[in-house]
Amino acid sequence: MVTIGVLRSKHWRWATDFNEPVTSMNGKTARNCFSGMWCLLFVSLFPFTTAIAQSPVKIIFDTDMGSDCDDAGAMALLHALADLGEVEILASIFSSRGDAGDNQYGPGVLDAIQTYYGRPSLPIGANRGGDVGDPKVRYLKQIGNHPEIYGHDVIKTSDVPDMVDLYRKTLADNEDHSVVILTVGHPIALVHLLRSKADSHSDLSGTDLVRKKVSRWVATGYSESSPAKNCNFVKQGMSEYLDELLENWPTDFYMSGSGKTVVTGAKLQATPKSNPVREAYRLWLKNWVREKPKRDGKNRSSWDQIGTLFAIRGTNGPFSITSKGSVQHTSRGIFWDSSENNPKHFRVNMTVTDQEMARLVEALMIVPPAM
């Protein structure tokens, strides 16, 4: 028997073995994984304990798609776990400034990926302006502006609701303390969500709505003890908003910083050319030959996939949690301060080797769509 489990708590529960039925979002048993070669692949790849939740984790996926390719890899992993019944994707948010240039095609890439995985109707929200976001994106227009290739119908930021409006609607429509917010990019949308006022979706303020509906916020960022100017939390205009966000966020906050030395992506070359995640990696890696000193040109770091995996599977598998300390921000950057405790801050740690994590992540990234 292969044991699969997660932390027994208000957030995660145990499953015992592959014989337990795991239901997908539409209530059907996720047969595609637990049959044939993919079942054999999972069992052979993961000799260490992994995790599967009995009830799907409800997630809002918030990304700065385009500033790197691991965002696309995280979406592949997210949808693979949705096919296994481990997660219910409530909405996707494109949080980078999307009012001009290639960033306006960010929602198109989200829709292309969701369409590829059989979920074309998942709601998408976007940052319609603002001053936070990476202006140097390498694949948004090449994918988002080509519905004739990828079959999606959302193209630009102007085609989708404002990100805060979708956040408020999604939270209001779900049960109390049931939603996990996962940010794999600049968490600027959360700043504006907390600032938001009562509207047609809810009579609550943004802060009260988050406190009522969100169980936890999981972010990919930086969790080392020495300060650094992390891309997601400090660079591209985010720094001036960060203190406000850290001070006012009302729920538990988990910071995942692992992934730099966990490299994945090369095996996407074996997936269909109609796979927009494959294309994102191909373009980012300059046709799979982008190389830097001490870096494999056919792979990329896996920060966002690791944060996504933790948001869904929790601990007691490839992760542990440090509860003593807090995320701090100074002029030198952000860091994990073990001497300054915040009971709502948690650091996420890997408990397997880089190679084992890479095998787990990449296997999920290349699972064919089940829908």
3-state secondary structure of 108: helix
Examine the pLDDT at 37 and tell me if it is beyond 90: no
Q: How many other C-beta atoms lie within 10 A of the C-beta of residue 182? A: 28
Spatial distance between the Cα atoms of 115 and 84, rounded to a whole number of angstroms: 17
Query: Is the predicted pLDDT of residue 33 greater than 90, yes or no?
Result: no
Beta carbons of 370 and 83 less than 8 angstroms apart? yes
Q: What is the mean pLDDT of residues 352-368?
A: 97
Q: Do the domain assignments include residue 51? A: no
Q: How far apart are CA 61 and CA 42, in angstroms?
A: 25
Whole-number Å distance between alpha carbons of 163 and 129: 10
Average pLDDT rounded to a whole number, residues 354-369:
97
Question: pLDDT value at position 98?
Answer: 79
pTM: 0.87
45 in a structural domain: no
Q: Is residue 47 included in any domain, yes or no?
A: no
Q: How many CA atoms lie within 13 A of 182 on its CB side?
A: 30
214, burial (CB in 10 Å: exposed 0-12, middle 13-18, buried 19+): buried
* Residue 7, domain member (yes or no): no
Whether residue 105 is contained in a domain is answered as: yes
Query: Which range is least confidently modeled, 162-176, 259-273, 283-297?
Result: 283-297
In the block, tokens 């319609």 appear at 128
> Parallel, antiparallel, or unpaired for β 214-220 and 179-183?
parallel
Cα dihedral 201, 203, 205, 208 sign: negative
Q: Is the pLDDT of residue 171 over 80?
A: yes
Whole-angstrom distance, CA of residue 25 vs CA of residue 16: 21
Q: What average pLDDT does range 186-213 have in this prediction? A: 98
**Per-residue pLDDT, 225:** 87
- pLDDT of 9: 36
Tell me the two tokens of residue 133. 């976001």
The pair of structure tokens assigned to 313 is: 């599977």
Beta strands in the chain (DSSP E): 57-63, 87-94, 124-126, 179-183, 214-220, 252-256, 263-264, 300-301, 319-322, 326-330, 333-337, 345-350
pLDDT band at 290 (very low <50, low <70, confident <90, very high): low
pLDDT band at 105 (very low <50, low <70, confident <90, very high): very high
Please determine, for residue 32, whether its predicted confidence score (pLDDT) is greater than 60. no
1 vs 277 pLDDT, higher one: 277
Q: How far apart are CA 36 and CA 285, in angstroms?
A: 32
Position 315 confidence tier, pLDDT thresholds 50, 70, 90: confident
Predicted pLDDT at 52: 52
* Angle, alpha carbons 317-259-218 (nearest 5°): 65
Give the whole-angstrom CA distance, residue 255 versus residue 21: 31
Amino acid 31: pLDDT: 34
pLDDT-based confidence at residue 308 (cuts at 50, 70, 90): very high
Structure letter (DSSP) for residue 23: B
* Total number of domains in the chain: 1
> For residue 191, what are its two tokens?
């700043």
> Domain limits at 231?
57-365
pLDDT tens profile 115-125: 999 999 999 99
Residue 75 domain-assigned (yes or no): yes
**Hey, which residues does 270 pair with through a beta bridge?**
none
Stretch 196-209: mean pLDDT: 98
Considering only residues 357 and 6, tell me which one the structure prediction assigns the higher pLDDT.
Answer: 357
Assign residue 8 a region (left: φ > 0; alpha: ψ between -120 and 50; beta: otherwise).
Answer: beta
Report, as an integer, the average pLDDT of 215-226.
Answer: 93
In degrees, rounded to 5, the angle at the alpha carbon of residue 94 between the alpha carbons of residues 93 and 95 is 100
Residue % of the chain over a pLDDT of 70: 83
Quick check: is 201 in a domain? yes
End-to-end CA distance of the chain: 28
| Stretch (H or E) spanning 359 | helix 354-365
Which domain CATH number covers 342? Answer: 3.90.245.10
pLDDT in tens, 233-273: 999 899 999 999 999 999 999 999 999 999 999 999 999 99
Tell me the sheet residues that pair with 214. 179
Q: Is residue 309 part of a domain?
A: yes
**Can you tell me the mean pLDDT for 9-31?**
32
